[in-house]
Amino acid sequence: MSQMIVFPLFLLAVGLLVMVQPRTKRWQSRMNAYFQGDERRVKQRANTFFLLGLAFVFAGFAYLFRLVG
C-alpha cells in the first residue's frame, strides 16, 4: 500500500513545481530572451504551465481519492 501512494504524491509534487516555475526570475528571463521581449507570449506560456501543473495536481488527487476510497 505504501508503494502505491508514492505515484499520486509524485504527481502532486510535480504539479506544484510546474505551477510555480514560471514565477521564477530565471524562467522569466529565459522566456523573455526566447520570445524576444513579447510579453503576451511569455504570459501565454506561463498560463500554459500553470494549467499543466493544475492537471497534474488534479490527477494526483484523483489517484489518492481512488486509493483511499
Q: Which of 22, 25, 27, 18 is CA-nearest to residue 56?
A: 18
Q: What pLDDT score was predicted for residue 69? A: 75
Q: 24 — alpha (psi -120 to 50), left (phi > 0) or beta?
A: beta
The Cα–Cα gap between 11 and 64 comes to 10
Round to the nearest angstrom and report the end-to-end CA distance of the chain. 13
The predicted structure's pLDDT at residue 1:
59
Mean of the per-residue pLDDT values of the chain = 93
Average pLDDT score over residue span 63-68? 91
| pLDDT score of 20 more than 80 | yes
pTM of the complete model: 0.86
d(CA 9, CA 40): 33
The domain segmentation of the chain, as residue ranges, is: 1-68
Would the pLDDT of 15 be above 90? yes
